[in-house]
Amino acid sequence: MPDMIRITLPDGSMREMPRGTTPGQVAADIGPGLAKAAIAARVNGALYDIMRPLEGDSTLALITARDEDDALELARHDFAHVLAEAVQVLHPGTQITFGPATDDGFYYDVMAPATRGPFTLDDLPEIEEAMRAIIRADKPLVRQVWSRADLISRWQEQGESFKAQWAAELPAGEELSVYWSGEPGSDGAWMDMCRGPHLASTGKLDPQAFKLIRVAGAYWRGDQNNAQLTRIYGTGWLNKKQLDAHLMRLEEATKRDHRKLGQEMDLFHLQAEAQGSVFWHPKGYVIYRALEDYIRRAVQAAGCKEVKTPQLMDVKQWEQSGHWGKYAENMFAVPDIVPAPQEDGEASGAPVVAPDADWMALKPMNCPAHILIFRQGIKSYRDLPLRMVENGCCHRNEAHGALHGLMRVRQMTQDDGHIFCREDQITDEVQQFCELVDRVYRDFGFSYAIKLALRPEKRFGSDADWDKAENELRDAVVRAGLATAEYGWEELPGEGAFYAPKLEWHLTDAIGRTWQVGTIQSDRVLPERLDASYIGEDGARHRPVMLHRAIFGSYERFIGILIEHYAGRFPLWLAPVQAVVTTIVSDADAYADGVMAKLAAAGIRAVSDYRNESINYKVRDHSTAKVPHILVIGMREAQEGKVAIRTLGSQGQRVMSLEEATAMLLAEATPPDLRG
């Protein structure tokens, strides 16, 4: 009698089947429909191939295309392998390295043979066709386990130096599995080293559901001292409908690119003389100031006190806080300098670093400085909670290749804040912050998901403190009524900071992209390291808990997100230019001057356009600049005391009195938090 194992299904039912049974055989035992639909399985929580034997008692959940997250991960993983196979079929001598699935597709890093240069965009159509041929061939994907020595030998024989190096460095005792595309060892079969899992065959992929989209340079193992490779990116989906929808989103995202719109709308620019820092133009700074005024009102109403702290602090302070040990490579340090040596009364060169220089560092975040403010004077338990906020300018030495418009910069201003509170106040403070963030994001038209990032493997603090901190954050979200599917509530094991768990707010923009922006963290580590304390009701010294919180995150990134969210069509209260007053004939210019004066008196940001151009030309020009309202004035409007309003995105025009138009604009221009 064969050795039997017990297989427990999601409904709690149990089947006894021979050891070595595959998930596909379990599906067939349940029914032919499921056998046809099943593409993989979760075995004891881990993804498994549908044809991989089960070696012991297992919990098993069969995966079909309806399980979209798992199905997409499998498909994208397979697309990456098919990409690598296609490149090597077309260009023998190409070396392959890694090819993971990504959030919306896949990539593979390859090294082109010495006989040709790196792969370019021109190569992609040919590679795509080769991929489709492999998919249509419906080649079985077969898993094998190899010994380390045999696998290294195989890679070396085939000239795959990167794969051989990686196989040699994998942890001892780790099972080294390979996957064949085609029957192992047969003509046309292709092999790659991979943990898996994979679909049963290449034919399970839709040949019309992927597209190669770009190429980029990459370094082996991400180290610029290593060999340079070509990274070929693709996007992959379960069917052509999903692919087409994604490509439409990409096209829309290109139209909304904040760098492109920022230039067209004359909002900001970046240049090499200040890499990673933003030059705000007058129109862009209007948006910045409007956001600053808005968030200042919001946090002051929440009982926060605004502070301002130094840009530079002694490195010793950063050593004590722990940032110098954990974050020094991302910080800008500034030494004491002395004048250059003098020759004939003149400096012989640039100033030099003093031999015994004291080093200062530009702050990458505001929290240590806020603790130094908290430590001034004796604090009582009655003084807590103490809520401190700062629109603080910070500097982070981001890698040049990581810089990206407003989204990732080296100089940023954060709407940063810290709440110093007692243990019994934490849940209330976090709940109030959750409610504040909800109001703010809804004012900008965002929906969002809340996620709780839990303790990482490497961390400061005791398990007991982490238990308390995680429970406090969780309880606050529950009490705020936000720990629901509607708000995308999710817990993320291992993704907290090294000193604290955190709540994260992930915004969803107008075209469905998500952005992680707001956060609040419950920290017991930094107050200990920097010796923050208050006098408790018992007369003894106690450590406060420090809640790190931000809503916008950084102004730069938040404005970049807003530009793309609104596609440059800002709501009137944020629009740099809220209205243009333009005339059809020069005889109406005098009346238009009066309209401008009326709007200015009401606080409307309006500009005039009396150019000797056709009205259609001027309307097109200002519509391209995303001006929300164009007030057109001809002789009839001048004689009747009216204006004709053309609104961005609307057809036709509305004619109304100047008083009505001013009232309408004023109502729209009022920030949402100040409306009745």
The per-residue DSSP string of 263-288 comes to: HHTT-EE--GGGTT--EE-HHHHHHH
Band (pLDDT 50/70/90 cuts) for residue 649 is confident
Contact 234, 209 (CB under 8 A): no
Task: Reduce the DSSP state of residue 646 to 3 states and report it.
Answer: strand
Contact 633, 599 (CB under 8 A): no
CB burial class (10 A; 0-12, 13-18, 19+) of residue 274?
Answer: exposed
Q: What is the pLDDT of residues 219-248, one digit of tens each?
A: 998 888 899 999 999 999 999 999 999 999
Give me the amino acid identity at 472: E
Beta bridge partners of 630: 580, 646
**HSE-up of residue 548 (Cα within 13 Å, Cβ side):** 25
Give me the amino acid identity at 615: I
Greatest CA separation for the chain:
104
Give me the amino acid identity at 428: D
Q: What is the pLDDT of residues 114-150, one digit of tens each?
A: 888 899 999 999 999 999 999 999 999 999 999 999 9
Band (pLDDT 50/70/90 cuts) for residue 483 is confident
pLDDT reading at 669 higher than 70? yes
What pLDDT does residue 2 have? 64
Contact 335, 354 (CB under 8 A): yes
Query: Between the CA of residue 484 and those of 144, 216, 469, 481, 638, what are the distances in Å?
Result: 43, 40, 20, 7, 56
CATH number for 279-309+366-566 (one of 3.30.930.10, 3.30.160.40, 3.40.50.2300, 2.40.50.100): it is 3.30.930.10
pLDDT reading at 645 higher than 70? yes
CATH class of 579-674: alpha beta
Residue with token string 């500097």: 395
**HSE-up of residue 143 (Cα within 13 Å, Cβ side):** 18
C-alpha torsion sign, points 202, 204, 209, 213:
negative
pLDDT reading at 341 higher than 70? no
Q: Residue 547: name the closest of 430, 462, 636 by CA.
A: 430
| 4-8/58-63 β-pairing | parallel
**519 alpha carbon, distance to own chain's centre:** 13
Q: What is the pLDDT of residues 255-302, one digit of tens each?
A: 999 999 999 999 999 998 999 999 999 999 999 999 999 999 999 999
Answer with the residue of higher pLDDT: 327 or 228.
228
Mean pLDDT of 327-348: 73
Beta bridge partners of 49: 40
Structure tokens at 494: 């291992």
- Rounded to whole angstroms, the Cα distance separating 467 from 498 reads 14
Q: What is the pLDDT of residues 429-464, one digit of tens each?
A: 999 999 999 999 999 999 999 999 999 988 888 889
Q: H-type helices in 513-580, by residue range?
A: 526-529, 555-566
Ordered by start, the domain boundaries in the chain are 4-64, 69-252, 279-309+366-566, 579-674
Q: Residue 423: name the closest of 530, 531, 542 by CA.
A: 542
* Helix H or strand E encompassing 582: strand 579-583
pLDDT reading at 540 higher than 90? yes
| 105-111/95-96 β-pairing | antiparallel
Active-site residue list: 367, 396, 414, 416, 418, 502, 548
**189 alpha carbon, distance to own chain's centre:** 39
Q: Residue 47: name the closest of 153, 196, 246 by CA.
A: 196
Which range among 56-70, 126-140, 588-602 shows the weakest confidence by mean pLDDT?
A: 56-70
> CATH homologous superfamily for 69-252?
Threonyl-trna Synthetase; Chain A, domain 2 (3.30.980.10)
Structure tokens at 515: 């952005």
DSSP letter at 32? H
Task: Reduce the DSSP state of residue 525 to 3 states and report it.
Answer: coil
- Rounded to whole angstroms, the Cα distance separating 130 from 14 reads 44
For the entire predicted model, the pTM comes to 0.82
Helices 282-301 & 426-443, crossing angle to 10 degrees? 140
User: Do 579-674 and 279-309+366-566 fall under one CATH topology?
Assistant: no
pLDDT reading at 308 higher than 90? yes
pLDDT reading at 163 higher than 70? yes
- Rounded to whole angstroms, the Cα distance separating 83 from 94 reads 12
What pLDDT does residue 569 have? 96
Q: Residue 630: name the closest of 265, 266, 620, 638 by CA.
A: 620
Which range among 187-191, 323-327, 330-334, 360-364 shows the weakest confidence by mean pLDDT?
A: 323-327
What pLDDT does residue 292 have? 97
Nearest 5 degrees, angle CA 652-CA 654-CA 659?
160
Structure tokens at 178: 């390979």
Structure tokens at 504: 């994260």
CATH class of 4-64: alpha beta
Contact 509, 446 (CB under 8 A): yes
Band (pLDDT 50/70/90 cuts) for residue 346 is low
